[in-house]
Amino acid sequence: MRRHILHRTVSVFLLICLLLSFTACTKLRAKRLEFTPYYSEHIASAYEQTSPTLLMSEPVPKDFDKDASVLVPYFHYAVYKPSTGFAAVDQAAEAYINAQLDTTEAMYRQDAALNMDYTLDVLDNKLGQLYIYGFSCTLADQQPQGDMLRTALFYNAQDGTLFTMDDILKSETYANFCQMADDLLYSTAQIDISVTSITADAFAAAFQFHTEGLTLHFEAGTFGNEQSDAIDIGIDYETLAPYVAEPLYELLEETHLPLRGRKLDPTKPMIAFTFDDGPSKYTPRIAELLERYNGLGTFFVVGNRIDNFKDAFMRCVEGGHELANHTWEHKNLQTNSYETGYDQLTKTNKKIEELSGKKPALIRPVGGAVDDDVRRLSRDLKMPLINWNVDTLDWKTRDADAVYNECVRAAGNGSIVLFHDLYETTWQAVERLVPYYASKGYQFVTVSELLQYAEDATIVYGDVYYDQNSHR
């Protein structure tokens, strides 16, 4: 009897539980909330040529999960998908969006939604910056307080090449850049946390390149709930330059980033103007003239003149010109001993390096005079001997017209031209020669640059170089 009563009691209890469960589910279904997209309209920037595609989930069907024993969550989304016109960029954006749709749908066990939008900026028609952002949430709280999403895609706006972070920052200095960002973050907002603690997507989204430099923009909450306000860190281009990788540097060089080295075109003619016996009062004029035509010269200086014309020497250093060795006292290396020659050259090397911070690479023997001992000096010091294939005879004629005419007659692609920057007439001739050769498409290069583009660029110490492709 007791067993029968117990059995009936358990059955009644289970029936009550079932009814309660059914009632609860029915009530939950009755309370299923509607989804309202947070980003109700995409605000296009001036750089957008094509309207975005709105990806949006279907409304919940009336009969959705009506026969289910438990409430099945429904996933809503409203996502603006960008179209930049560049396949690689658009595919990367679509892949990111699809990944977020898949991830978010799997995250929630109740009705939830994903909202996503983007902004597009292009820096001087060169650097495209596509920022994709959004958030996921339950329908009970349709505000951007849930899982925030953000990333950025950078690309060459001229050809659509997509940049990775390794194309933006050099891998070998990446850690140093992050340390600099950490220091600036602390000094700006007193947040003692590393930028490496956030996701790669969140870090990329912080990069905003503009006319003056880079701003690292960290939205509120990037570093946790204690970060209640957005943080902006400014880095000017000069400070940023040492950390920038080649693809981005090449894109922004000169217009934003400072010139780094020179870009020479091996398909265009090159000529090396060289100047002996200086420095002198005419040296800065020559240097400045070459620079105006994006050119550089090679100045074979006499060591004991440097202190007397230190400003002229430093003007060449600051302009990036090549400073090379023409002995300490303008001594003929062929008519002096090996030991005297060694002293003349090493003393001059030391002086040049002391002021310029760079050891000279080339020797010009006084008078172009070379014998076996001079060749041995070249091998021992690992400095090639540089003569010329065009002597303007400026030292002899002291006539600007004669110097000009001789150079135009004899000098062409690959020439090493000999001048002396001691004479006003030389300056007057060079003042005409530089615009003349520039009008013919010539690039004014240093001797070292000229030899880098030789048919055989291997430097042979002990040989004498006469032009770009002649040495023996």
Residues 312 and 389 in one domain: yes
* Residue 87: inside a domain: yes
If asked whether residues 307 and 450 sit together in one domain, one would say: yes
Could you give the dihedral angle defined by the CA atoms of residues 15, 17, 22 and 26, in that order, rounded to the nearest 10 degrees? 140
pLDDT band at 111 (very low <50, low <70, confident <90, very high): confident
User: Is 106 within the bounds of a domain?
Assistant: yes
Distance separating alpha carbons of residues 274 and 288, to the nearest angstrom: 14
For residues 296 and 370, give the distance between their C-alpha atoms in angstroms, rounded to a whole number.
Answer: 27
| Shared-domain flag, residues 286 and 413 | yes
Domain count, the chain: 3
Rounded CA-CA distance 73/107 in Å is: 11
Whether the per-residue pLDDT at 31 is higher than 70: the answer is no
Domain boundary, last residue among 120, 139, 163: 163
Predicted confidence at residue 163, as pLDDT, reads 96
Beta pairing partners, 178: none
Same-domain status, 315 and 426: yes
pLDDT at 385: 98
Catalytic annotation, pick one of 76, 256, 321, 420: 420
More confident residue, 181 or 329: 329
- 411 and 358 fall within a common domain: yes
CB 471 within 8 A of CB 463: yes
Residue pair 344/364 in contact (Cβ under 8 Å)? The answer is no
Catalytic annotation, pick one of 276, 277, 421, 467: 276
- For residues 251 and 245, give the distance between their C-alpha atoms in angstroms, rounded to a whole number: 10
Between 166-180, 201-215, 257-271, 399-413, the lowest mean confidence (pLDDT) is in 257-271
Q: Which range scores top for mean pLDDT: 78-87, 169-178, 180-189, 337-346? A: 337-346
Residue 225's pLDDT band (cuts 50, 70, 90): confident
CATH of the domain at 421: 3.20.20.370
**pLDDT bracket for residue 28 (50, 70, 90):** very low
Domain holding 309, by residue range, is 270-471
CATH of residue 85: 3.30.565.40
On the question of pLDDT at 30 being above 90, the answer is no
Polymer length in residues for the chain: 472
DSSP 165-227: HHHHB-GGGHHHHHHHHHHHHHHHH-----GGGS-HHHHHHTEEE-SSEEEEEE-TTTT-TT-
Read off the pLDDT band of 146 (50, 70, 90): low
| Catalytic annotation present for 380 | no
Identify which has the larger pLDDT, 24 or 97.
97
User: Which of 99, 128, 163 marks a domain boundary?
Assistant: 163
Instruction: Specify the CATH number for the domain of residue 177.
Output: 3.90.640
Residue 20 lies in a domain: no
Q: What percent of the chain has pLDDT over 90?
A: 67
Same domain, 278 and 398: yes
Q: What is the C-alpha separation between 402 and 410, in angstroms, rounded? A: 12
Q: Do 82 and 125 sit in the same domain of this protein? A: yes
For residue 121, give the H/E element and its range. Answer: strand 112-123
Strands (DSSP E) contained in 206-332 are 207-209, 213-218, 231-236, 270-276, 298-301, 322-325
Residue 148 and residue 173 in one domain: no
- What distance in Å separates the CA atoms of residue 316 and residue 36, rounded to the nearest whole number? 67
Helices 310-319, 283-292: inter-axial angle, 10-degree rounding: 20
Residue 217 predicted with pLDDT over 70: yes
Question: Strand, helix or coil at 79?
Answer: strand
Statement to judge: residues 387 and 399 lie in one domain: yes
Q: Are residues 331 and 450 in the same domain?
A: yes
As a whole number, mean pLDDT of residues 217-230 equals 85
> If you average pLDDT over every residue of the chain, what do you get?
89
Can you give the pLDDT at residue 145? 67
Token output for 274 = 């060289």
Backbone angles phi and psi of 271, in degrees to 5: -145, 140
Tell me the pLDDT band of 131, cut-offs 50, 70 and 90.
very high
Query: Residue 17 falls within a domain, yes or no?
Result: no
Q: How far apart are the first and last CA of the chain?
A: 122
Q: Which two tokens stand for residue 470?
A: 């002649």
Residue 25 domain-assigned? no
**In which band, very low, low, confident or very high, does the pLDDT at 40 lie, cut at 50, 70 and 90?**
confident
pTM over 0.85: no
Name the DSSP class of 363. B
Structure tokens at 409: 């007659």
pLDDT at 327: 98
In the predicted model, is pLDDT for residue 118 greater than 70? yes
Q: Is 64 helix (H, G, I), strand (E, B) or coil?
A: coil
Task: Please classify residue 8 by burial: count the beta carbons closer than 10 Å to its beta carbon, then call 0-12 exposed, 13-18 middle and 19+ buried.
Answer: exposed
Backbone φ, ψ for residue 10 (5° rounding): -60, -40
Could you tell me how far CA 65 lies from the centroid of its own chain? 54
Span 85-91, mean pLDDT? 94
Q: Give 3-state DSSP helix, strand, coil % of the chain, rounded to 5.
A: 40, 20, 40
pLDDT tops 90 at residue 51? no
**Considering the domain boundaries, does residue 394 fall inside one?**
yes
Q: Per the domain annotation, does 260 fall within a domain?
A: no
Q: Please check whether residue 151 lies inside any domain of the structure.
A: yes
Is residue 256 annotated as a catalytic residue, yes or no?
A: no
Shared domain check, 246 and 321: no
Question: Is the separation of the CB atoms in 127 and 66 below 8 Å?
Answer: no
Is the pLDDT score of 24 beyond 50? no
Strand partners, 152: 131
Domain final residue pick, 108, 135, 163: 163
The answer on 239 and 91 residing in a single domain is: no
Q: What is the pLDDT of residues 338-367, one digit of tens each?
A: 999 999 999 999 999 999 989 999 999 999
Rounded to whole angstroms, the Cα distance separating 249 from 352 reads 31
